[in-house]
A and B are shown apart, each in its own frame.
Chain A
Amino acid sequence: MIKARVTVTLKNGVLDPQGKAIEHALSGLGFGGVGQVRQGKVFDVELAETDKAKAEADLKAMCDRLLANTVIENYSVAIT
């Protein structure tokens, strides 16, 4: 079995009001020097596949078709 972590983040230039709100909240808690905060998503995925290359290709297809909205999001796949 292969375990993988998929990380989905907003593309540069796409407004992230949630990240902005978190940024302000961190400042409010007294954390100085916090720059830009961007919020994303993490998916831990288990695959029955044993071939790493095949698993990576499958995961990328999953990102393109469902896990990420590539209009506004980038993704990265890491096999753990």
Chain B
Amino acid sequence: MKSAVVLLPGLNRDRDMIAALTKISGKAPATVWQTDTEIPDVDLIAIPGGFSFGDYLRCGAIAARMPVMRAVAEKAAKGVMVIGVCNGFQILVEAGMLPGALMRNASLKFVCRQVKLQIANANTMFTRRYQPGQIIRSPVAHHDGNYFADAETLRRLEGDGQVVFRYAEGTNPNGSINDIAGIINSQGNVLGLMPHPENLIEAAHGGNDGRALFEGALGIAA
């Protein structure tokens, strides 16, 4: 399975994502720059975290309108898996590839800590290596992770199992509605989440709770 990582000015977790994908899949992902209009033939496209375009206007707003995101949307429409982590999640939401919006944390504080996540839907390409309801650990580091969607969208997300990760055991760090930490599109191939599973994949990280996400998506045996 092949992967690609989207690079944009202001991202700062791109090297972490590249390292995680390289370690887990055994080969380095392709990289695509913001102005690229074509993405190589891959199975998974990752949009890393950071502060693309300095979070100007709204987090992810400018990045979502760069040429590379049109190419990402075209690939996603063909069924290629897309994962957006942190700023990548914000970019997917701003691009209209996932519903809702990510607002300033309710505390108004940047949060950088470890949280607990419940696997709210283990029946996705990304979570199939976890047990339903399983609690895993994951780092978060963000200022704008407060997920919001209108009541009708929220009903649809909850009803269709599109809520994939939920902050568990009182660890919601940002005031996100229904403790939502990550959602998937209705086709089941575009995932966005605020936590950083790529930062918990090996013993040196203090655990490997995030590793199964990439193993599941890339179809790699644990």
Contact = CB atoms under 8 A, between A and B. Distances in A.
A24 to B, nearest CB: 11
Interface residues of A, number: 11
B104 A17 contact: yes
Interface stretch (B4-12, B57-65, B76-84, B160-168): B57-65
Dominant SS at the A interface?
A: helix
Contacts of B108: 17-18, 21
Contacts of A72: 101, 103, 148
A69 interface: yes
A66 B104 contact: no
A29 interface: no
B1 interface: no
Interface in A54-71: 65-67, 69, 71
A70 to B, nearest CB: 9
Interface in B25-62: 57-58, 61
Contacts, number: 35
Interface string B77-113: 0000000000000000010000111011111100000
A17 B148 CA distance: 13
B149 interface: yes
A15 B105 CA distance: 10
Nearest to B93: A71
A18 B175 CA distance: 13
B23 to A, nearest CB: 36
A66 B101 contact: no
B61 A17 contact: no
B150 interface: yes
B101 A71 contact: yes
A66 B69 CA distance: 14
A14 interface: yes
Contacts of A67: 57
A66 B65 contact: yes
Contacts of A66: 57, 61, 65
Interface in A34-80: 65-67, 69, 71-72
Given A17-B105, A66-B57, A71-B149, 4 more contacts: A17-B107, A17-B175, A21-B108, A66-B65
Interface of A: 14-15, 17-18, 21, 65-67, 69, 71-72
11 contacts: A15-B148, A17-B106, A17-B146, A17-B175, A18-B108, A21-B108, A66-B57, A69-B58, A69-B94, A71-B150, A72-B103
